[in-house]
């Protein structure tokens, strides 16, 4: 029997942001529609989310956060290039602008990420299955590339930017995976990750990372993603496309890591 064309990890971001988001994420996991989650350790519901992850044996990674809410490391004491005068991270665009102008002290980035890893270990009792960035901070010029002792897993391809929120549909998910397969020889199995943000919308003031939930989390689009991901039509289309859902630990995707969480902060290449 021929193997799958794609082995797909479906990762739900923002686990721990608020109980309503978490409820939807767990619902999607139990339905077999989500296979991995990324935890915000400074999220308002981080502790209860960690309990859910342990109870349901959900593969959980660290959703490294340098842009929303309050820090968990030394920066929380103040006088940090990562924070506004009010003691919060600079926001999605504010952090990008600070990085672009050289206003971010890179050792402080490392301190915060290491503190978030320590907090993750306290909450879950072990290392994350993966590390990614809240609001994509990890892909910024000068952003951090993280690795863990024993290796941090990743896939051949990443999809999800074209299927986020209202743009998520069976057709778009199928199309994004088809594009990822372009150039892949017949008989080769591609490993891919689909980024998703499902859940029941946040209702203020509950949720967030220290300032309450943002418009993204309160949007109806979170419920839209949940419904698309759990719809039988998506599962049927993926099966027709030769896509097999799996968790990251099911893949042969580990790479040698460093002895601790390490951030490699470098200039972007032209």
**Do strands 262-263 and 146-147 pair parallel, antiparallel, or not at all (unpaired)?**
antiparallel
Q: In angstroms, rounded to a whole number, what is the distance separating the alpha carbons of residues 227 and 242?
A: 22
185: left (phi over 0), alpha (psi -120 to 50) or beta: beta
Catalytic annotation, pick one of 13, 14, 127, 214 = 13
Concatenating the DSSP letter of every residue in 87-115 gives: SSB--HHHHHHHHHTT-S-HHHHHHHHHH
For 191, the enclosing helix (H) or strand (E) is strand 190-196
**Both structure tokens of 128:** 């994350």
Catalytic residue flag (residue 241): no
Tokens 């929303």: give the residue.
68
Strand partners, 73: none
Which residues form the catalytic set? 13
């Amino acid at each position: 029997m021929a193997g799958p064309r794609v082995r797909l990890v479906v990762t739900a971001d923002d686990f721990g942001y608020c109980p309503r988001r978490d409820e939807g994420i767990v619902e999607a996991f139990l339905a077999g529609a989500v296979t991995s989650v990324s935890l915000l350790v400074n999220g308002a519901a981080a502790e209860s989310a960690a309990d859910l992850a342990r109870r349901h044996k959900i593969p959980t990674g660290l959703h490294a956060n340098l842009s929303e809410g309050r820090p968990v490391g030394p920066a929380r004491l103040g006088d940090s290039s990562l924070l506004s005068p009010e003691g919060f991270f600079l926001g999605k665009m504010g952090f990008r602008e600070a990085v672009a102008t050289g206003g971010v002290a890179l050792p402080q980035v490392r301190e915060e990420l290491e503190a978030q890893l320590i907090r993750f270990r306290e909450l879950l009792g072990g290392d994350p299955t993966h590390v990614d960035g809240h609001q994509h901070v990890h892909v910024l010029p000068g952003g951090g590339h993280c690795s863990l002792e024993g290796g941090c897993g990743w896939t051949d391809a990443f999809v999800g930017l074209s299927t986020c929120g209202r743009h998520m549909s069976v057709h778009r998910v199928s199309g994004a995976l088809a594009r990822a397969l372009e150039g892949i020889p017949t008989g080769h199995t591609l490993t891919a990750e689909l980024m998703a943000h499902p859940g029941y919308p946040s209702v203020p003031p509950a949720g967030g990372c220290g300032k309450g939930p943002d418009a993204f989390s309160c949007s109806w689009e979170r419920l839209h993603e949940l419904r698309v991901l759990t719809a039988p039509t998506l599962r049927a289309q993926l099966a027709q496309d030769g896509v097999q859902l799996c968790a990251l630990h099911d893949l042969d995707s580990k790479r040698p890591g460093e002895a601790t969480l390490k951030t490699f902060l470098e200039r972007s290449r032209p």
